[in-house]
Amino acid sequence: MQKNQTKEKIKNSLLSLIENNHFEKITATEVSQKAHISRSNLYNYYKNKDQIIDGIVEDHVAYFRKIYQNRYNYYDISDFLNELSDLLIHKSSNLKIILNLPSRFSDKFKNEIKSIVKKTYLHNKYKHPTIKSVPTDYEIQFMYLLTFNYILYTINNPQKNLEIIESINKIQKLFIK
């Protein structure tokens, strides 16, 4: 338990430092001081700050994956979108930081989200057949862009927008028979 708490403290300390400093200029010493641990203890958990950010990105992808796995289980996805909205609102400041990091990190997050959308979509395509005239690759790209734009909108306007949720729900119903 102590190990996980220390790792979380380190990740939260780095996120806190990034809010007011450029990522590249933050030092391991600053992170360890903010986390109230020794620098050598920091290195017991992470080799460098890139590895800390990788852990933060993985945590946020895991939150998204957990919610998204039920995305296509229903014809009406309002409940899913409400749950996703709650997550995005709760994690909006961290997600803004992730998306404003150097591209090696932000692109990793975007690619992981795209992968989740694709895997979930393909896995559930047979539960809810889609319009046959629309190529699957197009549907996947469309759903990813719709999802990612919703993420961006919600983290920049951290409140539930029921009109957008209803619109996305209607869009999904256009693709599903």
pLDDT digits (tens, 9 = 90+) for 106-139: 999 999 999 998 888 887 766 666 666 778 888 8
Greater pLDDT, 79 or 113: 113
Average pLDDT over residues 94-108: 95
Q: How far apart are CA 138 and CA 123, in angstroms?
A: 16
pLDDT digits 0-9 by tens, 9-49? 999 999 999 999 999 999 999 999 999 999 999 999 999 99
* 130 beta partners: 176
Domains 1-46 and 53-175 equal at CATH topology level: no
pTM, 2 dp: 0.87
pLDDT at 61 over 90: yes
Fold of 53-175: Tetracycline Repressor; domain 2 (1.10.357)
DSSP 28-40: HHHHHHHHTS-HH
pLDDT at 176 over 60: yes
**pLDDT at 169 (0 to 100):** 83
Whether residue 101 contacts residue 53, with contact meaning beta carbons closer than 8 Å, is answered with yes
Contacts of residue 78, defined as CB under 8 A and 6 or more positions apart, other chains included, come to: 165, 166, 169
Q: How far apart are CA 133 and CA 165, in angstroms?
A: 26
Fold of 1-46: Arc Repressor Mutant, subunit A (1.10.10)
Kindly compute the dihedral angle of the four CA atoms of residues 134, 136, 140, 146, in this order, to the nearest 10 degrees: 10
Q: How far apart are CA 13 and CA 7, in angstroms?
A: 10
Ordered by start, the domain boundaries in the chain are 1-46, 53-175
* 176 beta partners: 130
